Amino acid sequence: MSNVGGVDRVLRFIVGVALILVPFAAPAVPALAGLGNWAWVIGAVGLVMLLTAVFRFCPAYVPFGVNTCDTK
């Protein structure tokens, strides 16, 4: 059962990849240097977003009945 549609999927993928890179870029970028261990939490959120894009299913959508997928 899919509940993540095309545009939602692409945005999740792009943002997910960007967030995964945060922990690795944080030490080199002064604006991100103060994140400390939070950078890894942000990276984990990015991993979840990437996985929901790949599997086209978001568990957080279920309780709210959200479905951005066009298929019937």
Kind and range of the H or E element at 61?
Answer: none
- Assign residue 71 a region (left: φ > 0; alpha: ψ between -120 and 50; beta: otherwise): beta
Here the contacts of 24-32 (C-beta below 8 Å, separation 24 or greater) are: none
Q: In this predicted model, what pLDDT tens digit does every residue of 10-47 receive, in sequence order?
A: 999 999 999 999 999 988 999 888 998 999 999 999 99
Residue type, 49: M
Residue 72 has pLDDT above 70, yes or no: no
To the question of pTM greater than 0.85 for the whole model, the response is yes
CA count, 13 A, side-chain hemisphere, 50: 13
Look up residue 29 and give its two tokens. Answer: 């970028």
- Domains of the chain by residue range: 6-58
Give the model's pLDDT for residue 33.
87
Residue 3's pLDDT band (cuts 50, 70, 90):
very high
Alpha-carbon distance of 16 to 52, in angstroms, equals 9
